[in-house]
Amino acid sequence: MARKRVKKRKNKSGMLLITGMVFVLCGFIFFNSMQLKQKLNQYEATEAELKEQIEAEEAHAKALDKEDEYSKTQEYIESIARDKLGLIKDNEIIFKRKNQ
């Protein structure tokens, strides 16, 4: 009978040890999953910011393309000639205000 009691005590202590290890493992997994969730949220926020920046840069690139196309037109050349160089077309009269 003494041997049976010893075996039962060993079985109970072994089960307690295994149960304790399972709880520790579950706690470790839970803690790590919380950290991973925080990192995921940070990465998602960063991704959203980067997508907004990409959209802004694409819009800026489109505006630059339009400006580039406009700079190749005759209308643009004439406006630069008028504004920067003060040139006028034939038979054109320019009226200037008198300084007061």
pLDDT at 3 over 60: no
What is the structure's pLDDT at 56?
A: 97
What is the structure's pLDDT at 6?
A: 53
Which residue, chain included where needed, has tokens 């009269």? 93
49, 62, 88, 90, 91 from 28: Cα distances, Å: 32, 51, 81, 86, 88
Per-residue model confidence as pLDDT tens digits over 8-55: 566 777 888 899 999 999 999 999 999 999 999 999 999 999 999 999
Domain spans, the chain: 2-83
What is the structure's pLDDT at 8?
A: 59
For the chain, the average pLDDT equals 86
Is pTM beyond 0.85? Reply is: no
